[in-house]
């Protein structure tokens, strides 16, 4: 049963593959729209080991990320400010954990355990008012990953990114039930082209305008 509470403040989320620009867009929109920020855990202690040995560390990595998302969910529910989140708990399960399970890197027993914990947490939090999906081809992702220069990401395989891209497209088209705005980073660079950013901001402000006075904070 869905026991999610209705938030009194606006909840915007940024979704997208590794290197798609989620953190950059989160930071920019937070400044433009005066919103609180929730970023993905960047110092997951398993992430370097994971890229060296995915089979050994996949479950540990995903459980740590899930715990971080649950902590954020509690903070979001307790807060009273409009907010923007860099990646959602839904992606952790439906994209990353599911992909690792399908690749044979997380056992079915471990995946079932993970999903039981995920289901409990996901039902506490309502869907974002708007999910902004940053869609990008693998060459664009690789280019942006190389530019930011995180050592543990230099060994990411192109086929791994392609698998994630396919899962994102399937999730957006067939699974996710909330409102979605897609930005194709290959053609709509929000850093280099201000009109792209203006369009995203306009969408957010239009949603704000629809809220009742008691919801708009």
Active-site residues: which are they? 86
Q: Which token pair is 163? A: 């698998």
With DSSP H G I counted as helix, E B as strand and the rest as coil, what are the percentages for the chain, rounded to 5?
A: 55, 10, 35
Non-local (6+) Cβ contacts of 7 within 8 A are 76, 77, 126
What is the rounded CA–CA span in Å between residue 100 and residue 121? 20
CA atoms within 13 A on the CB side of 128: 25
SS3 of residue 27 by DSSP: helix
| Cα gap 168→98, rounded to integer Å | 11
**What is the layout of strands, in order, in the sheet containing 180-184?**
36-38, 83-86, 11-16, 130-135, 180-184
Chain centroid to Cα 96, Å, comes to 10
Antiparallel, parallel or unpaired: β 11-16 and 83-86: parallel
Query: In the block, which residue shows the tokens 């903070």?
Result: 75
Token duo for residue 30: 């937070």
């Amino acid at each position: 049963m869905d026991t999610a509470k209705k938030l009194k403040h606006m909840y915007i989320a940024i979704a997208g593959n590794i290197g798609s620009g989620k953190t950059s867009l989160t930071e920019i929109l937070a400044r433009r729209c005066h919103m609180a920020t929730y970023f993905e855990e960047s110092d997951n202690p398993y992430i370097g080991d994971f890229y060296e040995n995915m089979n050994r560390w996949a479950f540990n990595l995903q459980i740590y990320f899930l715990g971080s998302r649950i902590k954020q969910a509690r903070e979001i529910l307790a807060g009273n400010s409009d907010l923007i989140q860099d990646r959602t708990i839904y992606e952790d399960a439906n994209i990353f954990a599911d992909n690792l399970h399908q690749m044979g890197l997380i056992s079915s027993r471990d995946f079932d355990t993970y999903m039981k914990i995920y289901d409990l947490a996901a039902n506490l939090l309502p869907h974002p008012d708007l999910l902004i999906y940053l869609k990008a081809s693998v060459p664009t992702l690789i280019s942006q990953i190389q530019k930011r220069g995180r050592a543990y990401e230099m060994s990411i395989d192109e086929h791994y990114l392609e698998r994630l891209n396919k899962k994102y497209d399937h999730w957006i088209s067939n699974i996710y039930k909330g409102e979605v705005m897609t930005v194709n980073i290959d053609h709509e660079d929000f850093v280099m082209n201000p009109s792209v950013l203006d369009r995203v901001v306009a969408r957010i402000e239009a949603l704000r305008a629809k809220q009742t006075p008691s919801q708009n904070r």
